[in-house]
Structure 1
């Protein structure tokens, strides 16, 4: 009798699971979505994107599929953000810098030397500041899912090692089309040249510009070692990478489908960040073996550069808003 009761209980539990599963399946439609981003598939961001696609497929029982277009196949970051706003593209992965034209508060991620390490960056992008910024995208026909990591940005150039702020002066440096970056490098005496990413390699190769700044992964997969001699480990900014969906698509999703996308993004971001940080050390060794000269900046010189850039930080703190800046500072302080 006891065995029968146990068996009956097991059947009841199994029936509940099957009913739950069938209910979930009923709330997930067959979809094929267009997902585009700017970097190469081999980059840690591309690997994170692949993990996201895999997880969405698994959690939707294969019903939600994605056609993935890496390496600016669908256009620059600015173009693909616009296409996603219009619902022509379903999902975009993008640096946060181009988003400042839509939501001015995203400029907080461009503040020079805001983060000292990855732990501080994670606390801000995964905390109240990050959630506030993702939510603000809904006002612009977009739906924010989560943040991957592009990484800490360093300066490369073809002229000289940068060991102090004065070494930046006179360099023609490509920056993203973003006012904080432009003002920051101008404050150091550089000729800041905003330029879409697909044009950068050719401009460096021809000598139209001398320098650019990006995380190690971008430097490596785009083979900038072929047109740049020096990497200076400035770590002057940390660059998150936003995973964003068209609001048109988001509004069409069931609650179960929304949960699939958000959960998949949050799982994929953990994989992607770990992969990115493990790759950095390998990339540095590889770039050295290919002839790039890599130098560190002393803490004293970093402090001097940050002091030079304080007026830029003050200017954009007013734009971003004192409350958001305080939230970011509180999240950073909580990691100490």
Structure 2
């Protein structure tokens, strides 16, 4: 009898241990709660005299982190090993809004963030709402042309004096919608579905126009919400759906390309201004180099993501985007979004 009870006790212990190892999304450390993310940081050379602490919400093998690693390596090379980045993936330093707040007040050096929380920090909310309109860009080349032009420079300059220096536009990617209920081919298929979006008014207004119920939610909460059915689906670029293993809890992906989503590299303004002219030159050159590398990496991950996920049984559906564009065009006239019509006209002219 004692042996029987001992065996039962050991079985229970093992079950508890394995349950604790699954993290929020059942896929290991990449989805673990922030207070349990140990050993995920990618630190620069110990010998460097300047260590810049940079946080992201994405996985260590994703396009955000790989781009930052390219910058880390280039910065160490240019500075002779005196400057480096310490990279903290997987929301180890908090959500994007939390990290932007920390960077603005100087308790964190840097962040690479999506545009979701940016309107709350920028001097001109209307500009960023305009940037997040649906189907603003047909392809990456159009987006790069705008973000690497005086239009993009003007947007970055809006942070001057806020405690944040916006360094450049990197890439998140074209956002697709996923769910675990059914194949989505037309906007009508989204009717009544609860879709997790970023905390972004333009994105939420667009999903409302599509007939769904948009639910703003921080990235760190999404896996448990999907597993528990709090939301039916979510939207993100393929690179994130793949590397964050969203496909483990979402069987269907629809290639709607609804938004082109950049991300913005930011550093505390005081930290940057405290660099010597030479250090600023090294930092700027490393950031510019890494922007190109990060975009290239994003394209590479996207190129292979579809085949890899389809090989795992995920159903990926192409849609008639003309039908989706027609359904969401009313968002461009949504007065509540306070769209900057002048900026919109400049972007549309630049992409023709």
| TM-score band w.r.t. shorter chain | 0.7 to 0.9
Are 1:222 and 2:241 an aligned pair? no
What are the within-5 Å matches in structure 2 for residues 227-242 of structure 1?
A: 227-242=249-264
- CA-to-aligned-CA distance 1:299-334 (integer Å, 9 cap, x gap): xxx22322222221223697242221122112212x
Question: Which shifted more, 147-156 or 95-104?
Answer: 95-104
> What is aligned with 2:181?
159
Per the TM alignment, residue 193 of structure 1 is displaced from its structure 2 partner at its CA by: 0.8
For the Cα contact (< 8 Å) 2:75–2:282, is it kept in 1?
yes
Partner of 2:297: 275
1:291, distance to aligned residue in structure 2 (A): 1.1
| Aligned match of 1:251 | 273
Sort the Cα spacing of 1:33 and 1:318 in 2 relative to 1 into closer, same or farther, 3 A. closer
Cα pair distance change 1:68/1:316, threshold 3 Å:
farther
For residues 177-223 of structure 1, the C-alpha deviation after alignment (integer angstroms, 9 at most, x for no partner) is 11111111111111111100000011111111110000011111121
Larger radius of gyration: 1
Question: For residue 20 of structure 1, what is the aligned residue in structure 2?
Answer: none
CA contact (8 A) 2:65 2:87 kept: no
Counterpart Cα distance in 1 of 2:108 and 2:266 = 10
1:32 corresponding residue in structure 2: 51
Among candidates 147, 156, 180, match of residue 125 of structure 1: 147
Kindly provide the CA deviation profile for residues 251-277 of structure 1, in whole angstroms up to 9, marking residues without a partner as x: 212222222222211111111111211
Instruction: Give the match for residue 23 of structure 2.
Output: none
Please give the per-residue CA displacement for 1:156-182, whole angstroms capped at 9, x wherever unaligned: 001111111111111111011111111
C-alpha contact 2:56 2:64 (8 A) present in aligned 1: no
CA RMSD in angstroms, aligned pairs only: 1.5
Q: Cα distance 1:318–1:220, how it changes in 2: closer, same or farther (>3 A)? A: closer
- Say whether residues 1:173 and 2:195 are aligned partners: yes
1:45 aligns with 2:64: yes
Once residues 74 and 199 of structure 1 are traced to their aligned partners in structure 2, the CA distance between those partners, rounded to angstroms, is 14
Moved over 3 A (4+): none
Match of 1:69 among 88, 91, 107: 88
Q: How many residues align?
A: 302
Q: Deviations over 1:79-114 (max 9, x none)?
A: 000000011011110001210122212223311011
- The Cα shift of 1:139 comes to 3.3
Is 1:294 the counterpart of 2:316? The answer is yes
* TM-score normalised to structure 1 length: 0.86
Q: Residues 130 and 340 of structure 2 are in contact (CA less than 8 Å); yes or no, is this contact kept in structure 1? A: no
Q: Which residue of 2 aligns with 1:19?
A: none
Return the alpha-carbon distance in structure 2 between the equivalents of residues 42 and 188 of structure 1.
Answer: 33
- 302-311 vs 45-54, which deviates more? 302-311
Please, which runs of 5 or more residues in structure 1 have no aligned partner? 1-28
Instruction: Considering fraction of residues, name the structure with more helix.
Output: 1
Aligned partner of 2:75 in structure 1 is: 56
Whether the 8 Å CA contact 1:48–1:272 is kept in 2: the answer is: yes
Match of 2:41 in 1: none
What's the counterpart of residue 195 of structure 1?
217
How much has 1:130 moved relative to structure 2? 1.1
Cα deviation, 1:44-85, whole Å, max 9, x if unaligned, reads 111001001111111111111222111100000010000000
TM-score (norm 2): 0.83
Contact 1:108 1:317 in 2 (8 A): no
1:113 aligns with 2:135: yes
2:111 counterpart SS class: strand
**8 Å Cα contact 2:196-2:231 kept in structure 1:** yes
